Structure 1
Amino acid sequence: MAGGEPTRQTHYELLQLPPSATVEELRRAFRSLSKRYHPDTTSLPAAEANERFRLLQEAYTTLSDPARREAYDGLLRPPAPPRPVPVPRRGEPRLRPVRRDFSSGEWFALLLLGLALSASLVLGVGMAWVQGTELVRQPSWWGKRRRRI
């Protein structure tokens, strides 16, 4: 970073660590580098020391938080190449959505489902009638309505 435009380094390069570094290695690297680049303890010019220390803090803050580190690592990975769309060869059948009638087995399954629903409703209402339970009851929390004249 001597003179001119500083080159953009990754956070791992700033901390001189591989991307597989553990949290403990990360902490040790930050502590040693922060002593080297802290504006009060370095022989570098004040502006450069401030900038390097700020970048070092930013790198450590990002990599020490697991969620932020995962997001940052995702930015470093190259994007996956787009998957090629398969083009059907000549004479190869193409799959197209088709509307078709229900088969006899599907109609039978629907009939069984309808019968099961009807039977359960009849059974429920019949059991309530045999036990003498009211079929429609006003909820207790509803309260009584008063008619205004």
Structure 2
Amino acid sequence: MSHYELLKVKPTASVQDLRQAFRTLSKQYHPDTTELPSSEAAVQFQELQQAYAILINPERRKIYDAELELNKERTSKKTITLSKVESHRRPFSGGEWFAIILLCFSMMGCLVLGLVLVWIRGDQGTWMPVWLEQSYAMELQLRN
């Protein structure tokens, strides 16, 4: 979290905006005036003070802004690098090949089993849905 987000101001905030934000938030996080546990409030208040000390000083703020911009550039470069890596397809591993071959064998086995069952039952291997049989029967009656 950046110091600007901690103080809940925009990076273009003026010195007056920073002071006002610090006053408002210090009342909220000061260990004597908050409802938070004292240890948590102390940590929050200390972070708030550090952020304010950096942003209120013009020289330190310039350095902080430069570091923030550098981190944004690094993050965007990492994102570009990751997107390039993700677009590259890797070859299948041995386990993936095994799973594909096993799937093919099981599908072929099901097909062979189905054909064997049709042959054993003596069926033609084709069947007609009931609704289609009824429509053919009606058509034959109309012709006769």
TM-score normalised over the length of structure 2? 0.49
- Of Structure 1 and Structure 2, the greater helix share is in 2
